[in-house]
């Protein structure tokens, strides 16, 4: 794209045309590879490190993503202009419940039982296929948004390299004794059948207000028939799991007679609980007297069950958490379903009863409700109602009442959560909490209040972090266990290879000896091909056999004649039996059957060694390298399963042996091709050559590519030095641990990029949604502090939530927000970007979407800027554009003011950007455009028309500098302006230009002297115009004088004021109140004639516009009017012709033309006007 590509004509005023201009800029960036050039340019300031949180690609990007992406892009572009190199590598979050829920819907399964019945492999492979389902849509949207990011080299959390780095991190935690396995009550989703992190249930919309039924239940004392402990609970479904009653030994309790029962209730709760029920206080005592008493549970399903410490079940215990603030001062305890309950049970060795299955249904032992969901999403009260009816039937129910409370739900499937005792793996956060808090002290937060408020609160209240999940599609926990409970932590793939249980087999690969086909380079895919070994070929084999330092137990050979002949020579030399030679057709030649008899050179010309061709599927029976690799690697794995302690010599062909080697290491297509990048064709072995293969079984998919996911990793058995076997635990890693490992895992540190810690850590800035203080920011900070001893980022920019215009959450089903692409096409992207960055959203606050504000910015910034540019082009003088701008040479106060305005604008934007305060950086843009267009341009319009050199050079300078200053924020508008104004020596894009540094402005401009004086002048103008409006006198009507009080302004400012307000003279009058004006509104006949003249000029100018004439067009004007009308023109004919760009004015009696009417007393002026070029 060049200047001819972007046209700033009147057409931009139609809404879609500005979007077209933006797309022209976008095409320029693509065609000229501007993003890459911006990365390649010199960066004297070094690197500005940016960490980008990975989104899921399982849905389309929404406004939240656009908001974050806009901020990320603006900061990165600014840093680049300031001389930094900013890597912007995209990442994809691939694992976890979001994808698993999609897969369950796709496959029509729900819950672990159905998934495992379907097959973990089927489930996982379907998940893999869905992970990147919307990548193209994402790329298109992010690109159109103007965000520059490297998609091609993006990282994925499902990559083996990423997972390996996560394993390393976990192994480091294990070395620091910060990992442990334990049983704790955790938030748990019965539908997803996995624990949920505390941070996840604190996320938006996880807590919902629901109506539940609370109950008062009677627990009869074993030694006092008819006397009942009255307990209150909001979870009736938990009662079958009751194993203890908790009271507070310091509280006072009463025995109260109600009807035929005696109830025990805390004294301070009696009135509230019993309300209007008739009752009698029988006695009063201290809670301590109840400690140790036995009681009868309301459900006896586990009365005869064997369990440890059963002597402690169904007794009364003291607990500090029991108070007289709510309930009855008596709490029923189900240790498997409550954190306080479990702590009490652990303290006193009280048994656990887990009467709810992992899928959220009552266990079989709970015979009256077996299989019923305890808290179903469809009707969360249904199980409670069944329990309440049962209690009513047995007489254990005292009362029930509805309560409305905030209850946690699964953030992915919206199922009510349970608190459920689970064996899990934890990071011992409490051990390192002080260090984590200490290292957070130097982080700069935007907004600043997060530093002392929300983030420290997150750190203070953080529990030990449960990192294990009972799911499938995620990074597997690299923990293997022996039967006796010993744990082996794996830190890398190399570590895995070393500790994998091995068969003891040894594998040696041998290529057949030379044939005539090899000499001629022919494709010989027929097993019965007549090409025998040449004499040289036989010698090659014999030489290799003599050099063998082992005797194989078996020779496996291809069924091809040349391979069998080679195997026969080896057998004869080593005196092996026929039975020790096994022919396996899977070891045959590369199956390029349709190329039989042609040369490999011809084949490779049509099928070069590319990743695409590696996996290509042929419909004519030919094989791809991937096909060959699969069959060859299957031989190895079959031998590994069948034999142990044997030596194998495998005789095959050049290409297949390369494929077998690649398959043995689990290499993918790209990695496999790298092995032979310098080789001729697919040859990895010379004829007759023997190589030992260092083969260890690896977790692999059907393509025999390394795959660390389940179920492949589950098949790997480890062995310690004493021969003890270890099997992997089935859990996977919390996806937040993956995301928190992103800074080093995307770089495959420490296995590659060993300088990462020194060069790319910590980040200079990160940008995400404010709720990430509880999640990504917290987890990344915790992991970084443990591994590297410091915070992972220096500056954190947080964004708020963009709500729909009605204040509700944006919802597709409600249709309460516009499609972003409609806005892109309607207004372009830059108005949306500026709207988002100037909003409270960039201060971490929520805001309702306001399309009217986008429209306002579109008109006030984009259209106005292009209007100014268009006006400049009308009177453009290229001779002034090549000269160096010297602000010291300026004499006109308007020019000085424009430069001072520009200097302040640049300083304000720069200050905001340096402080990562995008609101402060972006809000000056709209005001600057308004000031420059409505004041400078209007006041300088005639100077431009008259060819004033200084006006033109000032406007040229301001527009160019403006395009640089807004480049990080409004990248499209800046490019449009730059392309119009750049010269041959300039960079081809504004985004390759450095940030404007010193302006070389005079001292008075630095001190904003001209800005202050001009502000005073504009204030006077405003007051005079207000006085005109009150008197209903148009500005085109000249007035004689105005008096005002206040500081004296310079002559230049007075002239500007008088010209702007169309008044002849200005006087300072100290008798007036300070800051006021007195406008003489008398209109003399002379002033009236002058006003009429101005009205006529305005009418002709409007008619020119109506006729579509350019301001530079010199026209002929013909008037039909009376003598009085003609006199108006004749008196000022020369000035009139200049003002309306006329080359000729004439008069006629013709009645043709447009009417211009000027209202006057006693008679109006009427003109018929014809204009032609």
CATH of the domain at 687: 3.40.50.1240
> Among the listed ranges 125-129, 162-166, 191-195, which one has the minimum average pLDDT value?
191-195
Close Cβ partners of 962 (under 8 Å, ≥ 6 residues apart): 865, 902, 905, 928, 932, 977
Q: Degrees (nearest 5) of the Cα angle 740, 741, 742?
A: 90
| Whole-angstrom distance, CA of residue 100 vs CA of residue 28 | 40
Residues 996 and 1030 in one domain: no
Among residues 695, 721, 743, the one where a domain terminates is 695
Residues 955 and 857 in one domain: yes
Is pLDDT at 1068 greater than 70 in this prediction? yes
SS3 category, 1064: strand
pLDDT at 588: 97
Close Cβ partners of 245 (under 8 Å, ≥ 6 residues apart): 219, 229, 231, 295, 314, 315, 316, 317, 330, 331, 332, 333
The first and second tokens of residue 661, run together, are: 């080697």
Is pLDDT at 14 greater than 70 in this prediction? no
Cis, bond preceding 447 (omega within 30 deg of 0) = yes
Give the residue from 149, 151, 153, 156 showing the smallest Cα distance to 136.
151
Residues 935 and 1049 in one domain: no
Give the residue from 367, 411, 407, 420 showing the smallest Cα distance to 214.
407
The CA–CA distances, whole Å, from 1086 to 1092, 1156, 1162 equal 10, 21, 15
Across the range 252-279, mean pLDDT stands at: 95
Residues 1009 and 1035 in one domain: no
| Whole-angstrom distance, CA of residue 1131 vs CA of residue 1139 | 14
Asked if residue 802 lies in contact with residue 68, where contact means CB atoms within 8 angstroms, the answer is: no
Is the Cα torsion angle 345, 348, 353, 359 positive or negative in sign? positive
Domain, as residue range, for 1036: 1014-1079
The 10s digit of each residue's pLDDT in 756-772 is 999 999 999 999 999 89
> Among the listed ranges 503-507, 609-613, 1157-1161, which one has the minimum average pLDDT value?
1157-1161
pLDDT at 204: 60
Q: Degrees (nearest 5) of the Cα angle 727, 733, 738?
A: 135
SS3 category, 392: helix
Across the range 647-669, mean pLDDT stands at: 97
SS3 category, 184: strand
Residues 1004 and 1019 in one domain: no
Is pLDDT at 582 greater than 50 in this prediction? yes
Instruction: Annotate 185-249 with DSSP letters as a single string.
Output: EEEEETTTTEE--HHHHTSTT-EEEEEEEEEEEEEEETTSTTEEEEEEES-GGGGGG--EEEE-T
| Whole-angstrom distance, CA of residue 563 vs CA of residue 654 | 11
pLDDT at 205: 67
pLDDT at 13: 37
pLDDT at 959: 97
Is the Cα torsion angle 661, 662, 665, 671 positive or negative in sign? positive
Give the residue from 603, 610, 564 showing the smallest Cα distance to 587.
564
pLDDT at 886: 82
pLDDT at 2: 41
As a three-state string, the secondary structure of 958-1008 is HHHHHHHHCCCCCHHHHHHHHHHHCCCCCCCCHHHCCCCCCCCCCHHHHCC
User: Inter-axis angle of helices 830-838 and 918-931, to 10 degrees?
Assistant: 120
Asked if residue 333 lies in contact with residue 242, where contact means CB atoms within 8 angstroms, the answer is: yes
The 10s digit of each residue's pLDDT in 1126-1157 is 998 998 899 999 888 999 999 998 888 888 88
pLDDT at 679: 79
pLDDT at 7: 39
Is pLDDT at 290 greater than 70 in this prediction? yes
Close Cβ partners of 520 (under 8 Å, ≥ 6 residues apart): 599
Summary mean pLDDT of the chain: 92
- Cβ burial, residue 44 (10 Å; 0-12/13-18/19+): exposed
Asked if residue 1076 lies in contact with residue 1023, where contact means CB atoms within 8 angstroms, the answer is: yes
The first and second tokens of residue 486, run together, are: 């010993």
User: Inter-axis angle of helices 15-31 and 820-827, to 10 degrees?
Assistant: 100
Residues 671 and 637 in one domain: yes
In a domain, 293, yes or no: yes
> What CATH number is attached to the domain comprising 901?
1.10.730.10
In a domain, 518, yes or no: yes
In a domain, 74, yes or no: no
pLDDT at 812: 63
Residues 1073 and 972 in one domain: no
Residues 540 and 685 in one domain: yes
Q: How many CA atoms lie within 13 A of 330 on its CB side?
A: 31
Cα 1003 from chain centre: 45
Across the range 42-66, mean pLDDT stands at: 91
Residues 1072 and 1154 in one domain: no
Give the residue from 706, 619, 618 showing the smallest Cα distance to 669.
706
Is pLDDT at 811 greater than 70 in this prediction? no
The 10s digit of each residue's pLDDT in 80-115 is 999 999 999 999 999 988 899 899 999 999 888 899
In a domain, 955, yes or no: yes
Share of the chain above pLDDT 90, in %: 78
Residues 1000 and 1091 in one domain: no
Give the residue from 613, 556, 566 showing the smallest Cα distance to 586.
556
Among residues 1028, 1050, 1079, the one where a domain terminates is 1079
In a domain, 739, yes or no: no
Helices (H), 395-546: 429-439, 449-452, 454-461, 493-499, 516-520, 535-546
The first and second tokens of residue 114, run together, are: 């159905």
pLDDT at 5: 37
The 10s digit of each residue's pLDDT in 926-979 is 999 999 999 999 899 889 988 899 999 999 999 999 999 999 999 999 999 999
Cis, bond preceding 798 (omega within 30 deg of 0) = no
pLDDT at 809: 82
Q: Degrees (nearest 5) of the Cα angle 39, 92, 728?
A: 130
Q: How many domains does the chain have?
A: 5
| Whole-angstrom distance, CA of residue 464 vs CA of residue 1124 | 94
pLDDT at 6: 40
| Whole-angstrom distance, CA of residue 899 vs CA of residue 892 | 11
| Whole-angstrom distance, CA of residue 1127 vs CA of residue 1119 | 12
The 10s digit of each residue's pLDDT in 867-916 is 999 999 988 988 888 778 888 888 888 999 999 999 999 999 999 999 99
Residues 1005 and 978 in one domain: yes
Q: How many CA atoms lie within 13 A of 176 on its CB side?
A: 18
The number of beta carbons lying within 10 Å of the beta carbon of residue 34 is 20
Report the C-alpha dihedral over residues 592, 598, 599, 601, rounded to 10 degrees. Answer: -80
pLDDT at 528: 82
The 10s digit of each residue's pLDDT in 302-330 is 999 999 999 999 999 999 999 999 999 99
The first and second tokens of residue 198, run together, are: 């505390």
> What CATH number is attached to the domain comprising 296?
3.90.740.10
> What CATH number is attached to the domain comprising 1101?
3.30.2320
Asked if residue 556 lies in contact with residue 582, where contact means CB atoms within 8 angstroms, the answer is: yes
Is pLDDT at 150 greater than 50 in this prediction? yes
Bridge partner list, 692: 508
| Whole-angstrom distance, CA of residue 388 vs CA of residue 214 | 9
Is pLDDT at 226 greater than 70 in this prediction? yes
pLDDT at 776: 95
Across the range 512-536, mean pLDDT stands at: 93
In a domain, 1105, yes or no: yes
Give the residue from 334, 696, 652 showing the smallest Cα distance to 511.
652
Asked if residue 1028 lies in contact with residue 1051, where contact means CB atoms within 8 angstroms, the answer is: no
SS3 category, 181: strand
Close Cβ partners of 167 (under 8 Å, ≥ 6 residues apart): 475, 478, 490, 491, 492
| Whole-angstrom distance, CA of residue 5 vs CA of residue 30 | 14
The 10s digit of each residue's pLDDT in 448-467 is 999 998 899 999 999 999 99
First to last CA, the chain: 33
- Cβ burial, residue 878 (10 Å; 0-12/13-18/19+): exposed
Among residues 695, 725, 753, the one where a domain terminates is 695
In a domain, 684, yes or no: yes
Residues 1135 and 1060 in one domain: no
Q: Hunting for tokens 């008044």 — which residue is that?
A: 1063
The CA–CA distances, whole Å, from 147 to 67, 409, 770 equal 11, 35, 21
pLDDT at 1003: 66
The first and second tokens of residue 127, run together, are: 């998940």
Asked if residue 419 lies in contact with residue 198, where contact means CB atoms within 8 angstroms, the answer is: no
In the chain, the largest separation of any two C-alpha atoms, in whole Å, equals 133
The CA–CA distances, whole Å, from 541 to 533, 555, 568, 930 equal 10, 14, 10, 86
| Whole-angstrom distance, CA of residue 405 vs CA of residue 384 | 16
Write out the E strands in 1069-1112. 1077-1079
Cα 65 from chain centre: 6
Across the range 228-255, mean pLDDT stands at: 97
In a domain, 1157, yes or no: yes
């Amino acid at each position: 794209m060049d200047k001819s590509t972007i046209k700033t004509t009147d057409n931009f005023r139609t809404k879609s045309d500005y979007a077209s201009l933006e797309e022209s800029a976008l095409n320029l960036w693509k065609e000229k590879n501007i993003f890459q050039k911006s990365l390649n340019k010199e960066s004297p300031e070094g690197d500005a490190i940016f960490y980008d949180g990975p989104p899921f690609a399982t849905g389309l990007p929404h406004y939240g993503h656009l908001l974050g992406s806009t901020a990320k892009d603006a900061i990165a572009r600014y840093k680049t202009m300031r001389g930094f190199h900013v890597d912007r590598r995209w990442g994809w979050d691939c694992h976890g419940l979001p994808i698993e829920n999609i897969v369950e819907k796709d496959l029509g399964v729900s819950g672990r039982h159905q998934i495992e019945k379907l097959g973990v492999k089927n489930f996982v492979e379907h998940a893999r296929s869905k992970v990147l389902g919307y990548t193209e849509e994402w790329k298109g949207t992010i690109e159109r948004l103007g965000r520059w990011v490297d998609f091609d080299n993006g990282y994925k959390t499902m990559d083996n390299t990423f997972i390996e780095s996560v394993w390393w991190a976990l192994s480091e935690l294990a070395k620091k004794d910060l990992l442990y396995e334990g049983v704790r009550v955790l938030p748990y989703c019965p539908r997803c059948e996995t624990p949920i992190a505390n941070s996840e249930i604190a996320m938006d919309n996880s807590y919902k207000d629901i109506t539940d039924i609370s109950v008062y239940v009677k627990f009869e004392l074993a030694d006092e028939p008819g006397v009942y402990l009255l307990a209150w609970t909001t979870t009736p479904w938990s009662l079958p799991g009751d194993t203890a009653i908790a009271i507070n030994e310091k509280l006072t309790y009463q025995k109260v007679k109600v009807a035929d029962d005696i109830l025990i209730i805390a004294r301070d709760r009696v009135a509230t609980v019993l309300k209007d029920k008739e009752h009698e206080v029988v006695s009063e005592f201290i809670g301590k007297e109840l400690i140790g008493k036995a009681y009868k549970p309301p459900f006896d399903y586990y009365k005869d069950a064997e369990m440890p410490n059963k002597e402690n079940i169904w007794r009364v215990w003291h607990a500090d958490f029991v108070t007289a603030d709510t309930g009855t001062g008596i709490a029923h305890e189900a240790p498997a379903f409550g954190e306080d309950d479990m702590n009490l049970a652990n303290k006193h060795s009280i048994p656990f009863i887990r009467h709810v299955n992992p899928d959220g249904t009552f266990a079989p032992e709970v015979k009256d409700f077996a299989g019923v969901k305890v808290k179903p999403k469809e009707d969360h009260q249904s199980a409670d109602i069944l329990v309440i009816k049962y209690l009513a039937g047995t007489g254990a129910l005292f009362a029930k009442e509805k309560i409305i409370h905030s209850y946690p739900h699964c953030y992915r499937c919206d199922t009510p959560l349970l608190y459920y005792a689970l064996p899990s793996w934890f990071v011992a956060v409490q051990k390192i909490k002080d260090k984590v808090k200490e290292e957070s002290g130097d982080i700069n937060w935007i907004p600043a209040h997060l530093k002392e408020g929300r983030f420290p609160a997150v750190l203070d209240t953080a529990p030990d972090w449960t990192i294990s999940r009972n799911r499938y599609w995620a990074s597997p926990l690299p923990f293997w266990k022996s039967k006796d409970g010993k744990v082996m932590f794996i830190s890398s793939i190399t570590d895995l290879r070393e500790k994998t249980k091995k068969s003891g087999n040894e594998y040696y690969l041998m290529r057949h000896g030379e044939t005539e086909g090899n000499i001629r380079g022919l494709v010989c895919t027929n097993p019965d091909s007549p090409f025998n070994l040449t004499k040289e070929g036989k010698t090659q084999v014999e030489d290799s056999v003599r050099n063998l330092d082992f005797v194989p137990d078996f020779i496996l050979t291809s069924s091809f004649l040349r391979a069998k002949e080679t195997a026969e020579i080896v057998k004869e030399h080593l005196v092996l039996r026929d039975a020790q030679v096994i022919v396996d057709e899977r070891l045959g030649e590369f199956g390029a059957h349709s190329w039989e008899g042609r040369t490999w050179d011809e084949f490779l010309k049509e099928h070069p060694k590319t990743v695409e061709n590696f996996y290509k599927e042929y419909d004519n029976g030919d094989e791809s390298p991937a096909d060959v690799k699969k069959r060859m690697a299957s031989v190895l794995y079959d031998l590994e399963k069948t034999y142990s302690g044997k030596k194998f010599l495998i005789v095959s062909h050049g290409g297949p042996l390369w494929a077998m080697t690649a398959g043995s290491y689990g290499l993918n297509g790209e990695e496999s091709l790298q092995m032979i990048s310098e080789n001729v064709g697919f040859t990895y072995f010379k004829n007759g050559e023997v190589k030992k293969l260092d083969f260890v079984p690896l977790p692999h998919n059907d393509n025999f590519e390394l795959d660390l996911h389940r179920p492949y990793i589950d098949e790997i058995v480890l062995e310690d030095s004493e021969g003890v076997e270890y099997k992997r635990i089935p859990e996977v890693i919390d996806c937040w641990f993956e995301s928190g490992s992103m800074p080093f895992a995307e770089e495959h540190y420490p296995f590659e990029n060993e300088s990462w810690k020194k060069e790319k850590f910590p980040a200079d800035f990160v940008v995400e949604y404010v709720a990430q203080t509880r999640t990504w920011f917290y987890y990344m900070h915790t992991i970084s502090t443990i591994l590297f001893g410091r915070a992972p980022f220096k500056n954190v920019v947080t964004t708020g939530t963009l709500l729909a215009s009605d204040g509700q959450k944006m919802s597709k089903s409600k249709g309460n927000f516009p499609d972003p692409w409609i806005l892109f096409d309607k207004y372009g992207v830059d108005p949306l970007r500026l709207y988002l960055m100037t909003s409270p959203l960039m201060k971490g606050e929520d805001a309702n979407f306001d399309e009217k504000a986008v429209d306002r910015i579109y008109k006030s910034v984009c259209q106005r800027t292009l209007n100014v540019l268009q006006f400049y082009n009308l009177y453009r003088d290229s001779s002034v554009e090549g000269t160096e701008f010297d602000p010291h040479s300026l004499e006109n106060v308007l020019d000085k003011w424009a430069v001072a305005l520009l200097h302040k604008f640049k300083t304000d934007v720069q200050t905001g950007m340096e402080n990562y305060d995008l609101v402060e950086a972006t809000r000056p843009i709209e005001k600057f455009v308004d000031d420059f267009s409505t004041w400078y341009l209007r006041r300088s319009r005639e100077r431009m028309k008259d060819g004033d050199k200084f006006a033109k050079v000032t406007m040229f300078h301001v527009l160019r500098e403006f395009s640089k200053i807004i480049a990080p924020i409004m990248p499209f508008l800046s490019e449009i302006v730059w392309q119009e104004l750049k010269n041959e020596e300039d960079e081809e894009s504004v985004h390759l230009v450095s940030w404007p540094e010193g302006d070389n402005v005079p001292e008075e401009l630095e001190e904003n002297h001209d800005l202050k004086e001009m502000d005073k002048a504009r204030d006077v103008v405003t007051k005079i115009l207000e006085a005109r409006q009150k008197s209903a006198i148009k500005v085109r009507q000249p007035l004689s004088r105005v008096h005002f009080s206040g500081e004296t302004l310079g002559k230049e400012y007075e002239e500007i004021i008088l010209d702007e307000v169309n008044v002849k003279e200005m006087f300072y009058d100290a008798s007036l109140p300070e800051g006021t004006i007195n406008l003489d509104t008398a209109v003399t006949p002379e002033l009236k004639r002058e006003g009429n003249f101005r009205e006529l000029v305005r009418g002709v100018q409007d008619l020119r516009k109506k006729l579509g004439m350019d301001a530079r067009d010199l026209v002929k004007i013909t008037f039909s009017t009376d003598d009085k009308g003609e006199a108006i023109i004749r008196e000022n004919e020369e000035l009139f012709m200049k003002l309306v760009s006329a080359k000729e004015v004439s008069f006629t009696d013709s009645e043709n033309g447009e009417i211009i009417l000027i209202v006057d007393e006693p008679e109006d002026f009427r003109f018929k006007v014809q204009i032609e070029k």
